[in-house]
Every structure is written in C-alpha cells, then in structure tokens.
Amino acid sequence: MGKVRKVKRHEKFNYSKDRKKNRKKSKEVPAIKCEEIKKAWDVTKSVKKNLEDMGIAADSNKAVKMPRSKPLKMGTLDVEMEVDLQKTPIKKFVMNELEERSKIPGKKKMSMSDEDAGFCVYMMDTYVDNYKAMARDDRNYYQETPKQIQRKINRFKSIPEMYKIYAEAREGQSSMDS
C-alpha cells in the first residue's frame, strides 16, 4: 500500500542508495552454503522447481498436510491423509548425500568463560569442596547458591582442556611445597 501523498512529498531523495544496484542484488541467485545442493543447483530453473527436483520441500506447510482438528460437518469423519508418492525426486543423489551427512555425529564442544573458570579455580583452591562456604565468599558476586556453585565446578571439571591445566598447576605447586 502506498504512502499518503502529503508524507511522500516531503521525503528527500537518498543519494547514498543505489536503487539499481540493490534491485540487481535482490535478483541474484542466493549464496548456497550446502555443497550437496550447490552441486545440483540449476540456474535456469526457479527456486521452487530446483528444490522439487532434489526432493526438498520449498514450503513445509504444503508438503506435509495436517488433518483438520474439527470435522467439516457434523457426523463426518476426518478423511485419512493421502500421501502423494508419484512425485519422486529427479536428483536423488542430493537426498542421499544429505542423509549420509546428517548421520555423522556432531562434535559437542564444551566451553566456559575465563571469568567463570577463574572463579572455579579460586573457589576450589580456597575451599576445596565446601560449597556452603563458597556461597558465603565475597567473590560470589552473583550470589549463587551452593548447588549452583557445585554445578559450575562440576562443569569446569568436565572440560578436559581447562581442568587439565588446573590439575597440572596444582601438581607442580604441591611438589614445590614438599
């Protein structure tokens, strides 16, 4: 819907915007990050047709029809879902590659901020495992409960890269003390 004539009249022309360039940019083919899809993409076809050929849904609402929650008329039953099996993807290799890629388990990287790690190191050095005393410490700025501090320290211990450095430092310190 257009703007009101009075409002539009007072707008200044924006010289810093290149409208022609922006229009061309919007018409460009989008940057595809997925290698499987990028390899099978046909520039001459539309987005919808490309995805349909690969067996990927462009609109999930149209691809999977949900049954109505209420029947159309009183006394009629919901009609069972009909699955359209006639549409088979032309480029099946894309679906196969995507499925293979999805089966590869991802690497879960646990991390903790340096501030939290420093807090845990200080508390473990000072109080060992007395979580109630840790909760009463002046450095407990966020007023965490003993249970919250315990969880934070357990998370610190579960990150091998961080805890390994702490353990080695403590071993070196204990050997120097004796």
DSSP letters for 4-44: PHHHHHTPPP-TT--HHHHHHHHHSPPPP--HHHHHH--TT
Rg, the chain, Cα only = 30
Model pTM greater than 0.85?
A: no
163 is written with which tokens? 């805890």
Binned average pLDDT, 10 residues per bin, the chain of 178 residues: 64 87 81 88 87 87 77 56 60 90 85 94 95 96 96 95 91 74
Residue with tokens 């609402």, as numbered in its chain: 61
Q: What's the pLDDT tens digit per position in 116-151? A: 999 999 999 999 999 999 999 999 999 999 999 999
Report pLDDT for 141: 95
Q: Report how many domains make up the chain.
A: 2
Q: Which domain range does residue 40 map to?
A: 35-66+85-103
Same domain flag for 40 and 96: yes
Instruction: Give the Cα-Cα-Cα angle 92, 31, 105 (nearest 5 degrees).
Output: 55
Report pLDDT for 124: 96
Same domain flag for 40 and 98: yes
Report pLDDT for 73: 65
Identify whether 4 is part of a domain.
Answer: no
Report pLDDT for 120: 96
CA dist., res. 153 & res. 3, Å (int): 59
Identify whether 136 is part of a domain.
Answer: yes
Identify whether 141 is part of a domain.
Answer: yes
Cβ contacts of 132 within 8 Å, gap of 6 or more = 146
Report pLDDT for 9: 66
CA dist., res. 153 & res. 127, Å (int): 12
